[in-house]
Amino acid sequence: MGNRNGGRWMGEINGHTVLFLFFGILTCLFSLAVVFSANVVRMAFYLILALAATSGLHFLAGADFVGTMQLVLYVGGTLVLLVFGVMLTAQNPFISLRTAGGDWIVAALVGGILLVILVPVAFQIGLPPQDAGDIEGLTQREAVASSEPVSVPTATRIGLGLLGVPGDDVSGYLLPFEIISIHLLVVLVGAAYLARAKRKVVVRQESQNIAGS
Amino acid sequence: MFDLLSQPVGLTHYLIVGAVMFVAGAVCMATKRNALGVLMGIELVLNGANLNFVAFGSNFLERNPAYQLGLDGQIISLFVIVLAAAEAAVALAIVLNFYNNHSTVDVDRADELKG
Amino acid sequence: MGQQDLVSRLQETFGNSIGAVQLESIDPWIEVSADGLPEVCRYLRDQPDLKFDYLSCISGVDYFEPDPKKAVKLDGSPRLEVVYHLWSVAHKTSLVLKVILPRWKDDQEGVLPEVPSVADIWRTADWHEREVYDLSGVHFRGHPDLRRILCPEDWLGHPLRKDYEMPLEYHGIRCR
Amino acid sequence: MSQYLISHWGWYPPLVYTLMAMLAASLVLLVIAGGSVVFIWMERKVAGRIQDRLGPTRVGGKFGWLQTIADGIKLLSKEDLRPEGADAMLFRIAPYVAFCASYGSFIALPFATGWVGLDINVAVFFVVAVLGLEVFGVILAGYASASKWSLFGAMREAAQVISYEVPLGLCIVIPVMIAGTMDLTKIGNLQSGWFTNWYLFHDPFTFITFFVYYTCALASVNRAPFDLAEAESELVAGFHTEYSGLRWSFFFMAEYGSMFLVSALGSILFLGGWNGPVPVAAWIFGEHASQLSGFAFVLANVLGLMAFILKAVLGVTVMMWIRWTLPRLRIDQVITTCWKYCTPIAAVMFVGVISWQLMGLPNGGDVLPHHEQGSRRLPGSLRERPFETGDALPSANSVGFESEHGEQERGQVDG
Amino acid sequence: MSTTEEKSSENKVVEFDVRTDEMLVNMGPQHPSTHGVLRLVLRTDGEVVSEVTPHLGYLHRCAEKIGENLTPRQWIPYTDRMDYLAGMSMNLGWSLCVEKLMNLHVPEKARHLRVIIAEMQRIASHLVGMGAYGLDLGSFSPFLYAFRERERILDLFEEACGARLTYSYLTVGGATADLPTGWLQKCEAFLDQFLPVIDEYHALLTTNSIFIKRCAGIGVMSAEMATSYGCSGPVLRGSGVDLDLRRDGEEWYTNMYDGYAFEVIVEKDGHYPNDHVYPGVPPEAVLGDCWHRFYVRMLEVRQAIDLVRQAIDRYSAATDSYGEPVKLNEKLPKGEAYLETEAPRGQMGFYVVSDGSAIPYRARARSSCFCNLSVTSELCRNTLIADIPAIVGSLDIVMGEIDR
C-alpha cells in the first residue's frame, strides 16, 4: 500500500503517526509473541512489554491518566503479581507446556474468524459518517493529529467524574466507583482467604516424602 | 479504505490494534495449557477492549459526536484496569491453590470438582 | 578427688572394662576397653562429683613401624590408641582415657578396628570421631554419620596411619 | 523552540519533532549516564572518607576523577559471560529493562521550570509508575541467570519493592494533595519564595512525611540498609551474581539513576525543587522564573537548576553515608518496617495533613512573607480553584482547569 | 536428650500456604561470608533454611602428618598457618605443650613477653572477628576501622619478629628474639590511642539498633549445648559458661598468668565485668545469642589491653633472659603431653607423643574453631538465609585452623 500512495503518505506522516506506529506495532508484536511463546516466563515478559506499549498508545490518545494508571496498576501491580505466580509455579515441567496441534488449529480458526469480524468493523467505524458534518470532523481531526501530540490534562476531570460531579463530557460515576471499591475489598479478602494457610501438614512426613522422592 | 498510513491516526488504527490484542488474547486463552498462560490471555483480551474504550473516549482521535464517548470511556477503562487487578488476584489465588492441591498448573488436569 | 581414688572407684564400678592405668606420666591416663567405653564415659559425665561434661579432644595414635629395624623403639606391639581428653567445667579437672585397639580388626588387613561411638554422650565427639575415622582409620560403631570430614569422600586410606602411602595421583592431580 | 524552527526556519515538522525528541532524550541520557559516572566516583570518595582512607587518587589527576571512566572501559572490554542453562534472551535483555525503567522515568522529571523532557500532567504518578518497572529487570535477571542466589535476590527485590510502593505512594500523595496538582513543575513552582514555603516545612506532618518518604525511597531503590536484593554477604551478589562487563554496569547505571531520581523527586515534592532557600532569582529579576521570559528566564532557571541538582546530590550523598554506616536489615525486618512502621505512619501523616488543611492552621509559608508572583499558593481543596478555560490551548483541550498551563507553554517555547 | 527434642520438633504441625519446593543451595566454598573455604549445603524453603550441612576440608594441608616428620621447632611455622589470624597464639600453644613434655620452664621475662604478645594477638584477632562480623551483617566500615588498628599491631609484631602474619616468634624455650628497644613505648602508645577507639566500634556495631535486630536472639545456644559441643572461648562464654583457661586451665598454662589481675568475661546476673564502661546488654538479647558472643569478644579486647599493660610493667621489671629457644633437633623425652591454651578463638589444644627421638611420634592439634563450627547445623536449623552469615560470623571461625 505504501507504493500505491507514493509520495502522498510521506506528506501526511507526522510525529504522532510515527509514535503511534511504534507503539502499535510493538503492542501487536508482543501480543502475538505471548500467544506463540511456549515458555511461561517469556510469555509474562512479552505481556509486560505489550501492556507497557499499550500505555504508550493511551498517552497518544490523550488519556494520560489512564496511561499512567495502566503503568502503575497493570504493569507495576497486576503483572508483578502474575510474575510472582509464574515464579512460584515455575517448576521445570510447567515452564513449557506444549499445546496439542489440534488445539492450535481450532484456536487459529476461531481467532481468524474473530479478526475477520473485528477488522472490517474497525474500518467502518473509523470512516467518517457519510451523511453530514464530515468537513468539520475530518479537518479538525487532521488539525489535531498533525500538531504535536500534547498531553491533554484529564486527571482532574476524571477525578471529579469519579466523585460524581458530571462535567461536559463526563457523567458522574460515584456509585460505580463505590461498588468497585467494595468489590476490590471483597476480592482482596477473598484472595487472601483462598491463598491462606489451610493445610496442616506434619513436617516429618513431608521431609520423608522429599527424602523418598 | 485500506490506506491506513495515509490517514492521520484515528479511531480505526486504535481499533485494529485493539482487535489484534483481543484476538491474541482469545487465542492465548484457548491454546495455553498453563493456567497462568490462560490468565495472561485474559489480560490481553481486557487490554484490547480497554484500548477501544480509550480510543472511543478520546476526543483527540474522533471528533464525530456520533462516536464520542467523552471521558466516560477513560473512566470505564480505569474501572476495567482495577477490575483486572482484582481478577488477577483472585485468579492467582485459585491457581496457587490448584497448584498446592494438584502439584501442577496444567488446566487440562483440572477436571475434577473436588478440591 | 585424687586420681588414685577415681581409678579405684572406676575399677570397682566397671571391673573388667578398666585396663592398665598410668598415673606417673605427665598426663595420667586410664585404659578403657572398647566395649566398656560408653558406660564409663556416661558414668564420668553424669556423676555429680566427676561431671566430665566437656570432651576436649579425641586423637588417634597409630603405633606401628613399617621398618622392622626401627620397630624396637616402640613400646609394646603395634596398636592403635584412641585417646579421649576429658575436662570438667565445674570441677576444672582433666582426665585422659585411652582405648587400645588392634591396628586392624581381627588382624585382617583393611578391616578397621571398632570402637563404640560416644557422640550421644558428648555432641562434639561427632566431628572428632569423624576426623579420627578419616585420618587414623577407626570405625566408630553407632556413629550417626560416619563420613570423612577433612579428606575428600572418595579418598583412599587413612593418612595418619604410619604405613600410609600417599597415592600417586588423585583424579588426575599428581600427588607426589 | 520547535515552533520557532518550524515557523521561522521552515523546517520539516516531523524532522523537527524527531530532532527535539532526540535532543531531550540524549540530554536525559546524559544526566543518567553522566550522573552515574559522577555518583560512582562520589560513592568511592564518600566511602573512602567515611572509612578513613582516600578512595581513588590516581586515574585522571589528583582526585581520581577518571576512575569511573577507566572502570567503564575495563567493563566494556570484559567478556560478556552467560551461564550455561540461563535463559539467553531474558538474561541479555534484563539489564536493559532495568536501565530503561530508570531512564524512562527521567523523561517526566523537570530540572527547572519548563526544563523537562516531557511535560506530563500526571508527572508524579508517571515517574513513580515507570520507576516501579525497574523491578522487572531485576526479577528477569534473577530468573534468567539460572542461579539460586540470583533467584533469591530477585524474589527479595520483588517482595520489597512491591511492598514499599504503598508507603512511598502515600508519602507522595501528601504534597500532591497540598499542591492540588500532579504536575511536578507546578508543585515545584508552588514552593517558590522563602524556604518556609517548602512543603517540608508546610506543617509538622509533612516534615515527618519527608523522612518516611526518604526511607521508603531508599528501600525502593535497593540501597543499604535495604539492599537485600544484592546482599553480598548473604546472596553473593544477589540478582546480578552472574552478570559481568557491560550488562552488569547497566544495572549499576540504573541503580544510581534511580537514586538520583528519588532524591530529585523528594527535593521537588518536599524541598522546593529548583527554588533556593531564599528567593534570590526573584530579587534579581523581580519575578519568579515561571513568570519570566527570554534571557532572564534562562538565567533564573540556571540558578534554579543548580539549586535543584545540589539538593538531589545531597540526597544521594546521604544515601551513600547511610550505606557505609549501617548494617543490613533482614528480609522479614524490611517487610516489617514497611507494613508496620512506614505505611501506618504515612497514613497517619496523610490524615494529619488533611486535618491541618481543613482546620486552616497556619502553614510554613505564612511564617515569612513570600514573594508575590512566585508563590501563589493554591488552596488545598479544589472547590476554591477557579474553573477556567485554558486560552492557549486548542479547543480540543478546552476543559483544563490549569490556568498556568499556558504560561508554561510559553516558558517552554521561549526556552 | 537431644534426640527426644528433635522428635518433638519434627512432629510439630506447621501450616503453610503456598507449596514451594525445597531447594539445595551451596553456600561456599566460594562465598563472601563463609570466612574462607567453608562450604555449607543449605536445604531451603524460600528464605527459611531447614537444614545446614557443613563440609570441611578445602584447606586441609595435613599439618598433623607434617608434624610427625619435623622437630617441634620446625613445626612452629606450620602452627602459624593453622589460625592464621592468631599465629602467635598457635605458636604459644605448641611451645607450651612441648615444654610440658620436656618439663622446660621458661624464664620470668619470657613469661611476660609471652603474655604481651599473646594478648596483643588476642586484640588483633578479635579486631578481625569484629570487623568481619560487621561485614557479614552488611556494614562495611567497621571492617576497615578494625583493620586500621590491626595494622598497627601487625607493625609492632613486624618490628619484633619480622613477619606480619606468620610469625614463628614464640617458640619452644621462649621466643626467637627479645623485643627490640623502644618497642614497649610504641606498644603503650598504641594502647593509649586504641582504648578510645573501642567506643567507636561500640557505636558502630554493638549499640546500633539494626545490628541488635540482626543478632540479638539469633542462634541462641544454651550453656549445656555449648559444653556438649565442646565450644570454647568467646563462643562458650557467650553462653554463660564461666570457663577461661587462663584462670581455670592446667597449671602449666595458668602459671603464665600467675599474678595477673583479670576477670573472666562472662555474664553474671545480667552484667558483664566492667560493662559499666560500655553499653549494657540490650533487652532483646538472650544469653547465648550472636550478640553475646560478639560482646564477649569486644570486652575481651578491653581486658587484653589491661593485661598487656600489666605485662609490660612486669616485663620491664624482669631481669633474666627472654628465653633462648631450644636446639632445633633437641631430643624429646619419651612420653606424651596434652595441653590446652586459651587462644583468641577458644581452647587450642596440642597433643604431642614422643618416642624419645627429636621428632614427635604424633603431633595433634585440637582446634577450637573445629568444635565451635560443629554447632552450625544445629544453630542454623529453621533460620532465615540472612541469619546464617550472622550465626557463622558470630562463631568467628578460621578455616585454616579447622582444616589444618
3-state class (DSSP) for residue C73: helix
Q: Which residues of A touch E50 (CB under 8 A)?
A: 207
In total, how many domains does chain B have?
1
Between positions 26 and 85 of E, the ones with CB within 8 A of D are 31-33, 46-47
Compute the nearest-CA separation of E19 from chain A (Å): 8
Q: Quickly count: other Cβ atoms within 10 Å of residue C4's Cβ.
A: 11
Most confident range (mean pLDDT) of C23-32, C53-62, D80-89 is C53-62
Q: What is the pLDDT of residue C44?
A: 85
What residue numbers bound the domain in which E51 lies?
2-55
Give pLDDT tens digits for D133-179.
888 888 888 888 888 888 888 888 888 888 888 898 889 888 888 88
Q: What is the pLDDT of residue E154?
A: 92
Give pLDDT tens digits for E348-371.
889 998 888 888 888 888 888 888
Give pLDDT tens digits for A73-103.
887 778 888 887 787 776 665 666 666 777 7
Residue E2 predicted with pLDDT over 50: no
Band of residue D13 on the pLDDT scale cut at 50, 70, 90? low
Are E340 and E306 contained in the same domain?
yes
Q: What is the CATH number of the domain that holds C135?
A: 3.30.460.80
Give pLDDT tens digits for B32-89.
878 888 888 888 898 888 888 888 777 666 555 665 667 777 888 888 888 888 888 8
Residue E4 predicted with pLDDT over 50: no
Task: Determine the Cα–Cα distance for residues E237 and E226; give it in Å rounded to an integer.
Answer: 9
Give pLDDT tens digits for C104-161.
877 777 788 888 888 888 888 888 888 888 888 888 888 888 888 888 888 888 888 8
Q: Quickly count: other Cβ atoms within 10 Å of residue E103's Cβ.
A: 11
Task: Determine the Cα–Cα distance for residues E206 and C63; give it in Å rounded to an integer.
Answer: 51
Are E80 and E212 contained in the same domain?
yes
Q: What is the CATH number of the domain that holds B81?
A: 1.10.287.3510
Give pLDDT tens digits for D383-395.
333 333 333 333 3
pTM for this entry? 0.80
Q: Which residues of A touch D394 (CB under 8 A)?
A: 143-144, 147
Q: Do E101 and C135 touch (CB under 8 A)?
A: no
D396 near B CB under 8 A: yes
Q: Label residue E72 exposed, middle or buried (CB < 10 Å: 0-12, 13-18, 19+).
A: buried
Give the mean model confidence (pLDDT) for residues A122-147.
Answer: 49
User: Could you tell me if residue B110 is inside a domain?
Assistant: no
Compute the nearest-CA separation of A121 from chain E (Å): 45
Q: Which residues of D touch A152 (CB under 8 A)?
A: 121, 396-397, 400
Return the C-alpha cell found at E104: 622446660
Q: What is the pLDDT of residue C71?
A: 61
Percent residues over pLDDT 70 in chain E: 95
Q: What is the pLDDT of residue D76?
A: 85
Residue A23 or A171, more confident: A23
Mean pLDDT over each residue of chain E, to the nearest integer: 84
- Is the CB of residue B15 less than 8 Å from the CB of residue A12? no
Band of residue C24 on the pLDDT scale cut at 50, 70, 90? confident
Give pLDDT tens digits for E267-303.
877 777 776 777 778 888 888 888 888 988 888 898 8
Q: What is the pLDDT of residue E123?
A: 92
Residue A143 predicted with pLDDT over 50: no
User: Could you tell me if residue B115 is inside a domain?
Assistant: no
Compute the nearest-CA separation of D374 from chain E (Å): 44
Touch criterion met for A and E (3+ Cβ pairs within 8 Å):
yes
For residue D331, give the nearest of E47, E144, E389 by CB distance: E47
Kindly provide the b/e burial profile for residues E145-170, where b requires at least 16 CB atoms within 10 angstroms of the residue's own CB: bbbebbebbbebbeebbeeeebbbbb
Q: What is the pLDDT of residue B63?
A: 55
Task: Determine the Cα–Cα distance for residues A192 and C33; give it in Å rounded to an integer.
Answer: 64
Q: Do E248 and C54 touch (CB under 8 A)?
A: no
Band of residue C49 on the pLDDT scale cut at 50, 70, 90? confident
Touch criterion met for A and C (3+ Cβ pairs within 8 Å):
no
Q: Do B96 and A24 touch (CB under 8 A)?
A: no
What number of residues does chain A have?
Answer: 213
For residue E22, give the nearest of A200, A202, A210 by CB distance: A210
Most distant CA atoms of chain E, gap in Å: 74
Interface test with D, best of E150, E210, E215 (most D CBs within 10 A): E210
Compute the nearest-CA separation of D79 from chain A (Å): 26
Give the DSSP letter string of D195-261.
Answer: GGGSGGGTSHHHHHHHHHHHHHHHHHTT-TTS-TTT-HHHHTTGGGTT--HHHHHHHHHHHHHHHHH
First to last CA, chain B: 54
User: Could you tell me if residue B108 is inside a domain?
Assistant: no
Task: Determine the Cα–Cα distance for residues B86 and B82; give it in Å rounded to an integer.
Answer: 6
What residue numbers bound the domain in which C121 lies?
3-174
For residue E370, give the nearest of C55, C83, C127 by CB distance: C127
Q: Which chains touch A (3 or more CB pairs under 8 A)?
A: B, D, E
Residue recorded with cell 560443629: E374
Task: Determine the Cα–Cα distance for residues D256 and D113; give it in Å rounded to an integer.
Answer: 24
Residue C89 predicted with pLDDT over 70: yes
Residue D370 predicted with pLDDT over 60: no
Domains of chain A: 1-98 (1.20.120.1200), 101-151 (no CATH), 154-213 (no CATH)
Q: Label residue E227 exposed, middle or buried (CB < 10 Å: 0-12, 13-18, 19+).
A: buried
Distance, CA of A32 to chain centre = 13
Residue recorded with cell 510447567: A94
Are E318 and E271 contained in the same domain?
yes
Compute the nearest-CA separation of E135 from chain D (Å): 7
Interface test with E, best of B92, B94, B100, B104 (most E CBs within 10 A): B100
User: Could you tell me if residue B66 is inside a domain?
Assistant: yes
Return the C-alpha cell found at E339: 595441653
Give the mean model confidence (pLDDT) for residues A112-128.
Answer: 76
- The ipTM, to two decimals, is 0.78
Give pLDDT tens digits for A63-73.
778 888 888 88
Compute the nearest-CA separation of B96 from chain E (Å): 7
Residue D15 or E2, more confident: D15
D395 near B CB under 8 A: no
Give the mean model confidence (pLDDT) for residues E158-182.
Answer: 87
Task: Determine the Cα–Cα distance for residues E97 and E91; give it in Å rounded to an integer.
Answer: 10
Compute the nearest-CA separation of B101 from chain E (Å): 9
Nearest residue in chain E measured CA to CA from B95: E18
Window from A145-149, C67-71, E104-108, E198-202 with minimum mean pLDDT: A145-149
- Is the CB of residue D173 less than 8 Å from the CB of residue D350? yes
Interface of A with E (CB under 8 A): 88, 91, 195-204, 207, 210
Q: Quickly count: other Cβ atoms within 10 Å of residue E32's Cβ.
A: 17
Give the DSSP letter string of E234-247.
Answer: HHHHTTT----HHH
Residue C70 predicted with pLDDT over 70: no
Are E198 and E217 contained in the same domain?
yes
Give the DSSP letter string of D311-364.
Answer: HHHHHHHHHHHHHTTSPPPPHHHHHHIIIIIIHHHHHHHHHHHHHHHHHT---G
Touch criterion met for E and B (3+ Cβ pairs within 8 Å):
yes
Most distant CA atoms of chain C, gap in Å: 57
Are E8 and E82 contained in the same domain?
no
Q: Which residues of A touch D400 (CB under 8 A)?
A: 152-153, 156
Residue D369 predicted with pLDDT over 80: no
Q: Do B11 and A85 touch (CB under 8 A)?
A: no
What residue numbers bound the domain in which B61 lies?
9-103
Contacts across the A-E interface (CB distance below 8 Å): 32
Are E88 and E13 contained in the same domain?
no
**Among the listed residues D249, D222, D233, the one whose alpha carbon sits nearest the alpha carbon of residue D159:** D222
Report CA Rg, chain E.
21
Q: Do E135 and D149 touch (CB under 8 A)?
A: no
Q: Provide the 8-state DSSP code for A96.
A: B
B94 near E CB under 8 A: no
3-state class (DSSP) for residue D12: coil
Are E41 and E67 contained in the same domain?
no
Kindly provide the b/e burial profile for residues C146-160, where b requires at least 16 CB atoms within 10 angstroms of the residue's own CB: bebbbbeeeeeebbb
User: Could you tell me if residue B70 is inside a domain?
Assistant: yes
For residue A87, give the nearest of D17, D155, D397 by CB distance: D155
Q: Which residues of C touch E366 (CB under 8 A)?
A: 56-57, 59, 85
Residue E72 predicted with pLDDT over 60: yes
For residue A151, give the nearest of D17, D89, D120 by CB distance: D120
Q: Do B78 and A188 touch (CB under 8 A)?
A: no
- Is the CB of residue E118 less than 8 Å from the CB of residue E89? yes
Task: Determine the Cα–Cα distance for residues C6 and C29; give it in Å rounded to an integer.
Answer: 11
Return the C-alpha cell found at B83: 477490575
Band of residue D399 on the pLDDT scale cut at 50, 70, 90? very low
Residue type, D365: G
D394 near A CB under 8 A: yes
Give pLDDT tens digits for D30-80.
777 787 888 888 888 888 888 888 888 888 777 878 888 888 888 888 888
Q: Which residues of E touch A87 (CB under 8 A)?
A: none
E401 near D CB under 8 A: no
Q: Do C85 and E335 touch (CB under 8 A)?
A: no
- Edge-to-edge strand order for the sheet containing C18-22? C18-22, C29-32, C93-101, C79-88, C54-63
- Is the CB of residue E383 less than 8 Å from the CB of residue E391? yes
Nearest residue in chain A measured CA to CA from E24: A210
Q: What is the pLDDT of residue D368?
A: 61
- Strand runs (DSSP E) across C25-172, as ranges? 29-32, 54-63, 79-88, 93-101, 114-116, 139-141, 169-170
Touch criterion met for C and B (3+ Cβ pairs within 8 Å):
no
Q: Which residues of A touch D402 (CB under 8 A)?
A: 153, 156
Q: Do E351 and C135 touch (CB under 8 A)?
A: no
Q: Do D330 and E213 touch (CB under 8 A)?
A: yes
What number of residues does chain D have?
Answer: 415
Q: Do D90 and A45 touch (CB under 8 A)?
A: yes
Distance, CA of D150 to chain centre = 27
Strands C139-141 and C114-116 turn out to be: parallel
Task: Determine the Cα–Cα distance for residues E356 and C29; give it in Å rounded to an integer.
Answer: 19
Residue A119 or D24, more confident: A119
Band of residue D115 on the pLDDT scale cut at 50, 70, 90? confident
Band of residue D213 on the pLDDT scale cut at 50, 70, 90? very high
Return the C-alpha cell found at D109: 522529571
Which domain-ending residue is among E14, E31, E55?
E55
